[in-house]
Chains A and B, each alone.
Chain A
């Protein structure tokens, strides 16, 4: 099929009179295309640069220790992100362990135990569909199920559980890839030594797949840290001037604080929003950096 494409092309090229001018014309077109494709690629990079420059130049002057110690306020000078920062940390403290356990368990089941039955195929189809559901729909689910039905209220727990459902598909896919990359020979060796299935998973598969699983989890968590819409749905937009002290407390998170500031008409609050974005981006970049570092470090140890 593909070979045919190549052959068709060659006959077309032959039919054309290949004289000097047409070759240079084709070469010229190729050069022009190179330039256009390069520009397309660079446009993304340039936009990233402009975006980061815009945010930093707008918000830089508001970054001070006070910005981290103060709660949100009507007075820009006394505004800060203390409640939002702690709220984000609390939500992550609920989400991270839950997604890790559920995601890895599902991945182990699908990769190591599930037979090719209609049910396991159905679970897989289902997971890839869940990954494409808009985050705001998860927010509607969280509002209905956790806030109302289970009567958790607009709490850290409700937010954390909603986020767990949202990022679970990402964690499952990443963990499955990591587990699938474990060489079969290692598993056979372990089974041949008399280890049971679970012992093999515990002692051979998981340690080998761990760096990949960890990276996938950290990246999914960093996605959750930046999510705004689902938490607006479960009612985390209200004005909060305290840090949560239990999972049943009301909360706000960094992206929502940023959103509240962006929604204000005064220019000065937009600068505060930019300062909040700097903190958020720095946090995400650190997490991604840790993920990359851990992956490299563990990989070196194992090989």
Chain B
């Protein structure tokens, strides 16, 4: 750091340009170091997250074996005594079930919106639609949860009469709605970054807008689009309030979306709300589940970053 500063601010010995050690110059030299310390706080946050999760997770695995954690098919951590079982599988399948349905809802709608906004919409329409999608992105998840429980579930019951009050389906659909704006706006950014000349070449050759969009623009923006989808899926995995409110609190090893389930995030909330005391196995299980959740999202985020840097399209 100090070396770098020296090279850009040459000090000519004995000349009148030499920095005198006045208080102002001392402050000037202090500032980058001070800012550097504040900037390092974000690294400390990461270390804090990993360290707190690891510490209690390690304590958890002293009481529950890792094999048991991965292979056992029941999660009854908040039961008492002998009935406690710590198999993460039902929580993981619950999370995956929600994520898959959410992706099935969000990818077509989000991509459709992105293509419409970047390839079809006239500027006047775009200027109305984009802010509306941004509002959709800014709605708190607690509101989505309310919507899932009090509107979507009763609505779906018209078609599926034996749907429970708490079910994976309506929670997943609403999680999907929540991530639509994310896919739409990030994919649209990637598609607008494709140079106009390439599009015009396609038009000049007689291609329709659809052919240009699907065969020229989407392939050109592919890395950005995939990265947006991966990020949105990572958001769906970590989504908490919608699934806590609408999907129920029963860890359930099932792939039937009409049943009640529990996700990893919903379990953490349920455990934190209950009266569990510090140091108990129930308390430690929060961290073990939190660690699993963190690993899932961390891998997804790294994947998104790798895709963007590895397959980035450079235009001259």
Chain A interface (Cβ < 8 Å from any Cβ of B) = 1-3, 5-6, 9-10, 13, 18, 26-27, 29-30, 33-34, 36-41, 43-45, 47-48, 50-51, 54-55, 58, 101-102, 105-106, 108-110, 113-115, 117, 122-123, 125-130, 132-141, 143-145, 148, 165, 168-169, 172, 196-198, 219, 222-223, 225-229, 232-233, 235, 237, 255, 258-259, 262-263, 270, 273-274, 277, 280-281, 284-285, 288
Cβ-defined partner of A145 (8 Å) among B48, B213, B231: B48
Q: Which residues of A contact B132 (CB under 8 A)?
A: 44-45, 48
The reply to whether B240 and A229 contact each other, CB–CB distance below 8 Å, is yes
Complex-state Cα separation, A263 to B248, whole angstroms:
11
Q: Cβ of B209 < 8 Å from any Cβ of A?
A: yes
The reply to whether B269 and A232 contact each other, CB–CB distance below 8 Å, is yes
The reply to whether A126 and B46 contact each other, CB–CB distance below 8 Å, is yes
Cβ-defined partner of A44 (8 Å) among B36, B109, B315: B109
The reply to whether B208 and A130 contact each other, CB–CB distance below 8 Å, is no
Complex-state Cα separation, A125 to B111, whole angstroms:
27
The reply to whether A36 and B294 contact each other, CB–CB distance below 8 Å, is no
Chain B residue at smallest Cβ distance from A107: B39
- Total interface residues on B, CB under 8 Å, equals 104
The reply to whether A5 and B109 contact each other, CB–CB distance below 8 Å, is no
Complex-state Cα separation, A280 to B146, whole angstroms:
13
The reply to whether B184 and A44 contact each other, CB–CB distance below 8 Å, is yes
CB of A189 to closest CB in B, whole Å: 17
Cβ-defined partner of A6 (8 Å) among B36, B52, B201: B201
With A6-B202, A13-B207, A233-B268 as known contacts, state yes or no: A226 contacts B140, CB within 8 Å.
yes
With A132-B231, A270-B150, A277-B146 as known contacts, state yes or no: A123 contacts B208, CB within 8 Å.
no
Cβ-defined partner of B141 (8 Å) among A1, A5, A44, A228: A228
Cβ-defined partner of B220 (8 Å) among A2, A41, A228: A2
The reply to whether A136 and B238 contact each other, CB–CB distance below 8 Å, is yes
Q: Which residues of A contact B143 (CB under 8 A)?
A: 51, 55, 226, 258, 277, 280-281
Complex-state Cα separation, A40 to B112, whole angstroms:
5
